[in-house]
Structure 1
Amino acid sequence: MAQFLARFFPQRSERPLYDLFAELAELLVQSADTHSKLLGHGVRERTRLAPRLHEQSTVAEELCRRIAQRLAHSLITPYEAELLYDFALTLSDTLDSLEHTAELLVISQVGALPTALLEAAEGIERAAELTVAVTWQLSRVRDLGDHYEQVRKLKRQGDRLVRRALGELYTRGGSAQELLPQHDVAESIRQTITLQERSARIADLLRVKDS
């Protein structure tokens, strides 16, 4: 009966909740854009941009808290509530991962990065844009279509780019003091890509459940 009411009154019970998810996804798009700019610039510009990622990550945590409160009083099944909360937390973790990459770059003062990592960052931006489209359809998840397949394709591409960057790094050689920071940055970018695939998989679980 509760699920029926939730479907029957989407304007009153669901739209405010899903607006919070859309706000969280838009924040991810902004962070992914900042992340790409940060990777492509030098130390001084990175130092200027990094605090923006911290601010965005902090806002994401607050949005997750608000989503949790709204879910606790929503007319949806516990299973759906758990998936939606996991979805929100994974988006927040993705922003944390972007911030972590920024911190590594600023602390270690890494120089120019391999082109492959810049291309991987572009894939992160594209996946973030796809996530926004998902949040617009959370009230009708059966319309998500091939979203998960698109993000999985981006993940495979991103993983290949990270591997290529690491290969270039080791081929070029250098001291451990030079190599380790760039290795850590590459692995942090890989973690961001993995988290984006995870959020897409959670959304797909919602779609399968609603089919």
Structure 2
Amino acid sequence: MVQLFPRRVERSMTDLFSELAELLVQATDTHSRLLGHGYRERTRIAPVLHDQASRAEELCLRIAQRLAQSLITPYEAELLYDLALTLADTVAAMENTAELLVVSRVGALPTPLLEAAKGIERAAELTVVATWTLNRVRDMGDYYPQIRKLKRQGDRLVRQALGELYQRGGASTDLLPLRDITASMGRTIELQEHTGRLADLLRVKDA
């Protein structure tokens, strides 16, 4: 089996990816708490998510620097860099949702969105476990199928939230912010599926 990372940098590389994935888990928890509260608490929690997004970007940069020093193929390096970027982008997408919530001052969110947030948390937990196997990608098992399942569930919940939103009706000034928030959560779900796909490409490459 091909080792993705030379032994001399293997620990540092895998540690960086695991740290980034663990940060993603923390961000999904912050994201869920923010969705479940009202405006005042959201203004207090949102800066935490902003800090987590900034730290994710820093870790992504460190991974890029480590990849530049590693002895792996350009194809593998590109996949791993894309993986790091997607993890960071996922945290940034949740930060975007937080900003929309605070700026728009919307009230309680549709229940399907709160349920979708739980699926986002679960996907992040699975991703942490997957990063532990980056130096032996054949051991990822059914990580991607599980992420795909969560993606389908998340898409369905987003559609339900939009359906409830349009059935509720009201002024466009009230509907548009909620539509944007729903779309932002949909983007987070898409990025998590892309993370799973990239990890699976690494597994297939090593098969």
The TM-score normalised by the length of structure 2 is: 0.97
Pick closer, same or farther for the CA change 1:9–1:60 going to 2, 3 Å.
Answer: closer
* Structure 2 counterpart of 1:98: 94
* Structure 2 counterpart of 1:189: 185
* Structure 1 counterpart of 2:58: 62
Q: 5+ unaligned residues in a row in structure 1: which ranges? A: none
Is residue 117 of structure 1 aligned with residue 113 of structure 2? yes
* Structure 1 counterpart of 2:168: 172
* Structure 1 counterpart of 2:80: 84
* Structure 2 counterpart of 1:132: 128
Q: Deviations over 1:62-100 (max 9, x none)?
A: 101110110011121111111000000000000000000
Is residue 38 of structure 1 aligned with residue 34 of structure 2? yes
C-alpha distance in 2, partners of 1:73/1:196? Answer: 27
Does the Cα contact within 8 Å between 2:4 and 2:76 map onto a contact in 1? no
Q: Deviations over 1:153-175 (max 9, x none)?
A: 00000000010011011101110
The RMSD of aligned alpha carbons is 1.4
Pick closer, same or farther for the CA change 1:170–1:206 going to 2, 3 Å.
Answer: same
Q: Deviations over 1:137-183 (max 9, x none)?
A: 00000111111110000000000001001101110111000100001
Q: Deviations over 1:83-131 (max 9, x none)?
A: 0000000000000000000000000001000000000000000000011
* Structure 2 counterpart of 1:198: 194
Pick closer, same or farther for the CA change 1:9–1:166 going to 2, 3 Å.
Answer: closer
Pick closer, same or farther for the CA change 1:9–1:71 going to 2, 3 Å.
Answer: closer
* Structure 2 counterpart of 1:107: 103
Aligned pairs, number: 207
* Structure 2 counterpart of 1:156: 152
SS of 1:14 mapped into structure 2: helix
Question: Cα offset for 1:13?
Answer: 2.4
Does the Cα contact within 8 Å between 1:13 and 1:75 map onto a contact in 2? no
Question: Cα offset for 1:15?
Answer: 1.3
SS of 2:112 mapped into structure 1: helix
Residue type matched to 1:122 in 2? Answer: K
Does the Cα contact within 8 Å between 1:151 and 1:197 map onto a contact in 2? yes
Q: 5+ unaligned residues in a row in structure 2: which ranges? A: none
Does the Cα contact within 8 Å between 2:5 and 2:72 map onto a contact in 1? no
